[in-house]
């Protein structure tokens, strides 16, 4: 089995390359994905709010992690949608199902934010 030719970097060079790919991915999501921009705005409001609240460090960590999870799920959803669109822009029930499931994952992560924040604030 042949490995990908893009796997040739090792050590520090690999870490630097990975950081570059990650930053490029975040920039692409910011530039092309309205939902990511909106969720990033939400994160820019909620993370400092969590840091300012008088709650335990564990509660604060859960609040921030729940917000960051939304960004992770949105990035994965956007990547999957781009891959599906790369394969074909023609309507297909499996492509539609994949996109709907990705959207559902983002929705569940948003429900998670609401529940975590509600439980912490009601404690």
Q: What is the pTM of this model?
A: 0.90
pLDDT per residue as tens digits for the range 1-18: 667 766 777 889 999 999
Domains of the chain: 1-32 (no CATH), 33-122 (1.10.287.3610)
Average pLDDT estimate for 29-35: 97
Active site residues per annotation:
74
Torsion of CA 82, 13, 27, 35, to 10 degrees: 50
Count of C-beta atoms within a 10 Å radius of residue 6: 8
């Amino acid at each position: 089995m042949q490995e990908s030719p893009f796997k040739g970097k090792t050590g520090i060079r690999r870490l630097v390359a990975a950081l570059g790919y990650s930053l490029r991915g975040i920039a692409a999501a910011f530039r092309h994905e309205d939902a990511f921009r909106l969720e990033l705005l939400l994160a820019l409001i909620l993370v400092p709010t969590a840091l300012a609240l008088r709650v335990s460090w564990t509660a604060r960590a859960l609040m921030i992690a729940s917000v960051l999870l939304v960004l992770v799920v949105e990035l994965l959803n956007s990547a999957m949608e781009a891959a599906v669109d790369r394969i074909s822009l023609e309507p297909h029930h499996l492509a539609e199902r994949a996109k709907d499931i990705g959207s559902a994952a983002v929705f569940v992560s948003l429900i998670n934010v609401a529940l975590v924040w509600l439980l912490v604030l009601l404690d």
